[in-house]
Chain A
Amino acid sequence: MRLLEFQAKRIFSRYGIPVPKGVLIESPDGLDLEKLSFPAVLKAQVPVGGRGKAGGIRIVTQAKEAAAVAKELLASNIKGVPVQAVLAEEQAEIERELYLAILIDKQTNMPIIMASATGGVDIEEVARENPEQILKKHVEPSIGLPDYVVRYLGKNLGLGDYLESFREIADQAYAIFRDCDASLVEINPLAVTPSGLLALDAKILLDEKAAFRHHDLFTQLQAEWRRLEKGTKTMAEQLAEERGITYVPLDGDVGMISDGAGTGMLTLDLIQDAGGRAANFCELGGLAGAESMRQALEVVHANPNVKVVLISLIGGLTRMDEMADGVVQYLEQHEKSVPLIIRMYGTQEEVGKAKLRAVGIETFEDLEAAVRAAVKLAKES
């Protein structure tokens, strides 16, 4: 879950990591930028990389120009994402740009801290062309970030007088990583300025699996996203989000629900191979019961393009009797449904099949046959 820059910087400030003075702009009307000193930098708040090169970062020299550029940015798209907010910040005097990041290294299952003296926009290129310019140290999670590692990085970044400030920033970045269950805390660039180190950009990825222990933080972030994304999501997406259902919209007409991620992806591939086009990906997960299935059917039906819904079930943890209950409940509550093609196999399947037969639905045993039937129906209707 990627935070927007202003959200990440708010967390930085709370932990004492210095960031430029800034103002968040959500509307071009009634702008008050008098408190800001110029020149300033206007930054589109979109969760995509490379926004500077895509025109999402602009330098302005006075308040009137800032208002015009903010208006322009708020009406634009950056890499396909509509800009809903702009962060206006005082421009810093940059001597050099460093890179600092803490993340989970999936190769070793350990946290890793990375730093480079060549920070800035082209860090991916540095990683590719000159990987030796990026310093990397693994961190034992039960021990935390050792001071010697921070001193080692500071020395190799040539920080000299700024070592103390770097130590504070690295320690606090690790504290954010640990306290907030982050999968990434990245400062790029971490600028060396005449007045000290300054985090010019901020990227934090949070682990939504840990939301249960960060209730207040997640509630605040989600409220902000909802406000900023207003009008950019479809009914089906909003419904899925409210109910915590995995839902990815696609542009075809065959609705898809599966009880496993792998079989869901397989079903999409098979739909494509059969010459059809899926309308979505929707996966229930192993602990799903009848209610999840009923809600997923509502979500998928909320997309008006759907002509048929293909339900792809092979139960290990999920029980087919409970899946059938969910389908029956949906049909009882809704007068209209597009045709349902159901493939059912696995745990408690005999009970599940009997329940569906009672409402006139015959299930498929073979997945590929079910896919062919669904694609054919979508084409005919």
Chain B
Amino acid sequence: MAILIDENTRVLVQGITGRVGSFQTKIMLEYGTKVVAGVTPGKGGMEIHGIPVYDFIEEALRDHEVNAAISFVPARFAKDAAIEAIDNGIPFLVLTAEGIPDHDVITILNYAAAKGTTVLGPDTPGLVSPGKCKLGVHPNRVLKEGHVGVVSKSGALSYEVCRVLVEHGIGQSTVVGIGGGPLWGLSQKDVLKMFQEDPETKVVVLLGEVGGTTEQEAAVFIERSMDKPVISLIVGRAAPKGARMGHAGAIVEGEEGTAENKIKALKNAGSFIAKNPSQIPEIIKKVGA
């Protein structure tokens, strides 16, 4: 089971010949991900780590069955690549690029919604269902098969938490990075809903940060619709107001965006609150999942 991706996921890599795309394809292959084809305009006919490269997705689909794509295409070309994936009916698209203009993101997300493509990202490390499929850039060492679902805005924070979990012998069902915002394809709430419905997931870790109100929306969903335990860690308690903390979405404007406000909303919704990563395994052991 797991969510979104599993052992039957067959992956196309957009931007496979670039520095990052090529390196991360190698790591995904080492992890066991079924990467079947890559696309880079003008590089058709090449091979990268044994994977055939095409100029267009349409050409790749003539030779291969594909049900997910991950894009390493740089921000300024990311919209065109995403539209190509959507036009070709790719059902699940992961957008890793950081810095895609907001207007391009809304064009992509509205078109994807109209055509039935699910989008994860942008500015996401991707996702991984340990032991089954990795469609992302997570360090392999922090992953282990298990029953904890992890959803995070930040990639690095999810690696940090997964590292601590694995050190305590705790594995994950699926680890999902939704991206640094301020616009998201799949939201925290969407992913929580999938974890709630996934029989393999027994407990959920929600990793949030200052800025926006998505954690408050997640809190409403937790209160109304979840019976699985949720452990939340919200970073940015020490962040000053008005400053952008690295992620485009991480900026405290008004009271709603503060870590304090988010922690309060999640606590009131019945979520466990961790102050730092090392408290998370302690809470998981306590709830007995």
Q: Which of A104, A142, A250, A261 has the most CB of B within 10 A?
A: A261
Query: With the chains together, A317 CA to B72 CA distance in Å?
Result: 11
Query: With the chains together, A148 CA to B158 CA distance in Å?
Result: 46
Chain A, 313-332, contact with B by CB distance < 8 Å: what is the 0/1 string?
01111010000000000000
B29 CB → nearest A CB, Å: 15
A258 within 8 Å of B (CB atoms): yes
A246 CB → nearest B CB, Å: 5
The residue from A111, A140, A210, A314 contacting B156, defined by CB atoms under 8 A apart = A314
Contact A209 B245 (CB under 8 A): no
Contact B276 A269 (CB under 8 A): yes
A179 CB → nearest B CB, Å: 10
Query: With the chains together, A107 CA to B181 CA distance in Å?
Result: 12
B103 within 8 Å of A (CB atoms): yes
Query: With the chains together, A315 CA to B142 CA distance in Å?
Result: 11
Q: Which residues of B contact A281 (CB under 8 A)?
A: 239, 243, 245-246
Interface segment, one of A24-32, A34-42, A271-279: A271-279
Contact B155 A209 (CB under 8 A): no
Contact B102 A287 (CB under 8 A): no
Q: Which residues of B contact A178 (CB under 8 A)?
A: 103
Contact A272 B98 (CB under 8 A): no
Interface size on B, residues (CB 8 A): 64
Contact B153 A262 (CB under 8 A): yes
The residue from A111, A273, A283 contacting B276, defined by CB atoms under 8 A apart = A273
Contact A104 B245 (CB under 8 A): no
Q: Which of A337-353 contact B (CB under 8 A)?
A: 345-347
The residue from B137, B235, B248 contacting A316, defined by CB atoms under 8 A apart = B137
Contact B103 A271 (CB under 8 A): no
Q: Which residues of B contact A317 (CB under 8 A)?
A: 20, 24, 96, 125, 137, 155
A224 within 8 Å of B (CB atoms): no
Q: Which residues of A contact B100 (CB under 8 A)?
A: 209
Q: Which residues of A contact B236 (CB under 8 A)?
A: 265, 268-269
Contact B277 A266 (CB under 8 A): yes
Contact B154 A263 (CB under 8 A): yes
Interface size on A, residues (CB 8 A): 50
Contact A316 B125 (CB under 8 A): yes
B36 within 8 Å of A (CB atoms): no
B231 within 8 Å of A (CB atoms): no
When A261-B156, A265-B245, A270-B276 are in contact, do A209 and B99 touch as well, CB less than 8 Å? yes
What number of A-B contacts does a CB cutoff of 8 Å give? Answer: 176
A119 within 8 Å of B (CB atoms): no
Q: Which residues of B contact A347 (CB under 8 A)?
A: 27, 137, 139
Contact B107 A142 (CB under 8 A): yes
Query: With the chains together, A140 CA to B158 CA distance in Å?
Result: 34
B272 within 8 Å of A (CB atoms): no
When A109-B106, A268-B238 are in contact, do A212 and B245 touch as well, CB less than 8 Å? no
Q: Which residues of B contact A72 (CB under 8 A)?
A: none
Q: Which residues of B contact A109 (CB under 8 A)?
A: 105-106, 109-110, 183-184
Contact A207 B109 (CB under 8 A): no
Nearest B residue to A313 via CB reads B156
A37 CB → nearest B CB, Å: 38
Contact A260 B106 (CB under 8 A): no
Nearest A residue to B250 via CB reads A261
Contact A346 B110 (CB under 8 A): no
When A264-B245, A285-B246 are in contact, do A278 and B106 touch as well, CB less than 8 Å? no
Query: With the chains together, A363 CA to B136 CA distance in Å?
Result: 26
Contact A262 B152 (CB under 8 A): yes
Query: With the chains together, A14 CA to B146 CA distance in Å?
Result: 59
Chain A, 130-164, contact with B by CB distance < 8 Å: what is the 0/1 string?
00000000001110000000000000000000000
Query: With the chains together, A183 CA to B106 CA distance in Å?
Result: 11
Q: Which of B210-236 contact A (CB under 8 A)?
A: 210, 212, 235-236
A241 within 8 Å of B (CB atoms): no
Contact B101 A209 (CB under 8 A): yes
Contact B155 A183 (CB under 8 A): no
A367 within 8 Å of B (CB atoms): yes
B168 within 8 Å of A (CB atoms): no
Query: With the chains together, A283 CA to B245 CA distance in Å?
Result: 8
A176 CB → nearest B CB, Å: 12
When A248-B244, A286-B98 are in contact, do A262 and B207 touch as well, CB less than 8 Å? yes
Q: Which residues of A contact B62 (CB under 8 A)?
A: none
B247 within 8 Å of A (CB atoms): yes
Q: Which of B111, B181, B238, B239 has the most CB of A within 10 A?
A: B238
B153 CB → nearest A CB, Å: 6
Show 8 A/B contacts (Cβ-Cβ < 8 Å), sorted by A: A109-B105, A178-B103, A209-B99, A246-B246, A248-B244, A270-B276, A286-B96, A315-B139
Given contact pairs A109-B110, A264-B156, A266-B157, a sample of 16 additional A-B residue pairs in the complex whose CB atoms are under 8 Å apart: A104-B183, A109-B184, A142-B110, A209-B99, A248-B240, A261-B156, A262-B207, A262-B247, A265-B210, A265-B238, A265-B239, A266-B160, A286-B137, A287-B20, A345-B139, A346-B142
The 7 closest A-B pairs by CB, nearest first: A262-B154, A260-B156, A261-B246, A262-B157, A283-B246, A210-B101, A265-B235
Chain A residues at the B interface, C-beta cutoff of 8 Å = 104, 106, 109-111, 140-142, 178, 181, 183, 207, 209-210, 212-213, 246, 248, 250, 258-266, 268-273, 278, 281, 283, 285-287, 314-317, 319, 345-347, 367-368
Chain B residues at the A interface, C-beta cutoff of 8 Å = 20, 23-24, 27, 75-76, 96, 98-107, 109-111, 123, 125, 136-139, 141-142, 152-160, 163, 180-184, 207, 209-210, 212, 235-240, 243-248, 250, 275-278
